[in-house]
Amino acid sequence: MTRISNEYQAINLSQGFPDFDPPKEITDRLAEVAREGPHQYALTWGAENFRVALARKQEHFTGQKVDPNTEIVVTCGSTEAMMAAMMSVTNPGDNVIVFSPFYENYGADTILSGATPIYVPLIPPSYTFDADQLEDAFKKGVKALILCNPSNPCGKVFSYEELKVIADLAKKYDAYVITDEVYEHIVYAPYKHIYMATLPGMRERTITCSSLSKTYSITGWRLGYVIGDSRIIERVKKVHDFLTVGAAAPLMEAAVVGLNFGDEYYQKLQEKYTHSKNLFTKGLDQIGLTYTEPQGAYYVMVDIEEFGFRDDLAFAYWLAKEVGVGAVPGSSFFQEKIDRYVRFHFAKKDETLLQALDRLSSIYSKAKK
């Protein structure tokens, strides 16, 4: 949809990246690193100062000590982190549970690992799962479950009760939980992010995949990581070595500044995105569009059934061409045949969101033509 947005000069609210700069402290440090280095390979599993800073940050937010030498691998983004984790714990023929809707890479990662995805629906508009249906999936002999929390695309934040159901089933059926927690610091009150690894008996079963992309607005830097039990991480190191060798040394050096930020940074980040969410959803309310209120992340799913298009792809194409706003067809996230949603993202400057809302205000009049 980015290509189509560019073709029609639409405001791109499809691909999830900010249109504002990273924190100045990080970019200032990057300028210093450009002059001073390092410019050669770091250790394949990540520069030591980066891993130490990450371990300290993780302990601060989870209350769990992390060994920077044996329990962390730095990767080229969370996409590689997920791929390395999958290839480390699954074998060809294994089954992996994927909640639907899901970030598109999860199904592909499962298949590329030689495993078979078993999809369990998160039922719109609340995006809850049925515990009995989930257990039926576990009964099929599952090696792992992929959990995106907070969720892309639907903005769901899983409650402690929901996480406990997943954890209890993982323990009962001897499975791993591979988490994607890239939006861990983008959660809206009264919701709270709970780390799966902190649930009783889940530290050894949880493989945490995340990145710095969303937290520090550096999506182009491709800095991710895997955190887990040392026995798993030893395998991840080997897979990672053959996938990409290592993350970019200069970028790791600069990003250490961000990993050392205090609580005030994360509070301001949450305030910033809460403001953006409220600005955008209030605009959707005024226009009259139906959507699910996001609990976390920076996406909102809008129901387009009332417009009567044959499918969401046709609607998204029309929206970019005639209204001038880019969105992602929701069907790209669902395994089931559901094509009544599009996804917008609001990680944008106020002026960008206001301009997009101004264009969207004509959606009903243009749909009647």
Structure confidence by residue, pLDDT tens digits, 151-186: 999 999 999 999 999 999 999 999 999 999 999 999
Residue 5 has pLDDT above 90, yes or no: no
At which residue do the structure tokens 């060994």 appear?
Answer: 67
pLDDT confidence of 369, banded at 50, 70, 90? low
Q: Supply the Cα-derived Rg of the chain in whole angstroms.
A: 21
Q: Are residues 55 and 171 in the same domain?
A: yes
Q: What confidence category does residue 124 fall into, taking pLDDT thresholds of 50, 70 and 90?
A: confident
- Given a cut of 90, is residue 290 above it in pLDDT? yes
| CATH code for the domain of 278 | 3.90.1150.10
Q: For 194-221, what is the mean pLDDT?
A: 98
Q: Are residues 103 and 159 in the same domain?
A: yes
With beta carbons less than 8 A apart as the criterion, state whether 102 and 254 touch: no
Q: In terms of domains, do 214 and 74 share one?
A: yes
Q: What CATH number has the domain bearing residue 136? A: 3.40.640.10
252 shares a domain with 302: no
63-100 pLDDT tens trace: 999 999 999 999 999 999 999 999 999 999 999 999 99
Tens-place pLDDT, residues 38-70: 999 999 999 999 999 999 999 999 999 999 999
Please say which residue of 260, 289, 316 terminates a domain. 260
Q: What pLDDT does 8 receive?
A: 86
Q: How many domains does the chain have?
A: 2
Residues 308 and 212 in one domain: no
Whether the per-residue pLDDT at 1 is higher than 90: the answer is no
Same domain, 120 and 207: yes
Residue 295's pLDDT is what? 98
**Which residue, among 344, 347, 341, 340, has the nearest Cα to 360 in the 3D structure?**
344
* 153 shares a domain with 71: yes
User: Where among 226, 243, 260 does a domain terminate?
Assistant: 260
Report how far residue 311's alpha carbon sits from residue 329's, in angstroms, rounded to the nearest whole number. Answer: 9
270 with 330, same domain: the answer is: yes
Same domain, yes or no: 253 and 129: yes
Question: Based on the domain organization, do 188 and 156 belong to the same domain?
Answer: yes
Query: Which residue carries 């980066």 as its tokens?
Result: 50
Q: Please indicate, yes or no, whether residues 152 and 56 belong to a single structural domain of this protein.
A: yes
The range of the structural domain enclosing residue 280 comes to 2-21+264-367
Write down the pLDDT at residue 147. Answer: 98
The model carries a pTM of 0.95
Cβ partners under 8 Å of residue 362, min gap 6: 323
Mean pLDDT of the chain: 97
pLDDT in tens, 234-263: 999 999 999 999 999 999 999 999 999 999
Same domain flag for 183 and 234: yes
Looking at 227, 260, 293, the residue that finishes a domain is: 260
